[in-house]
Amino acid sequence: MAPVYWKSLVISVEPSKASAIQNVCDDMVRLAQFLGHEVKFTFNGFRLTAGPDSKPEDLLQAYAAEKF
């Protein structure tokens, strides 16, 4: 579960097990934009952070850099 911290809230987000990394990155960036806050998540054991200004491509590059 990936917590999102606000002043008094923690929202946990967990990608579906059979999700493709591209879809997860797209969804997490949209969620971060909607919330106006960072969203931290784990995908296949790698921790990533999407912010309101993030691009899905940047998250994919970060994932690839961690994975290989």
Q: What is the pLDDT of residues 39-66, one digit of tens each?
A: 889 999 999 999 999 999 999 999 999 8
pLDDT at 60: 96
**Rounded to whole angstroms, how far apart are CA atoms 66 and 68?**
6
46 or 5, higher pLDDT: 46
Residue 45: CA atoms inside 13 Å, Cβ hemisphere, count? 3
Beta strands in the chain (DSSP E): 2-5, 10-13, 39-43, 46-50
Distance from C-alpha of 22 to C-alpha of 48, rounded to nearest angstrom: 13
pLDDT digits 0-9 by tens, 9-31: 667 788 998 999 999 999 999 99
> What's the length of the chain?
68
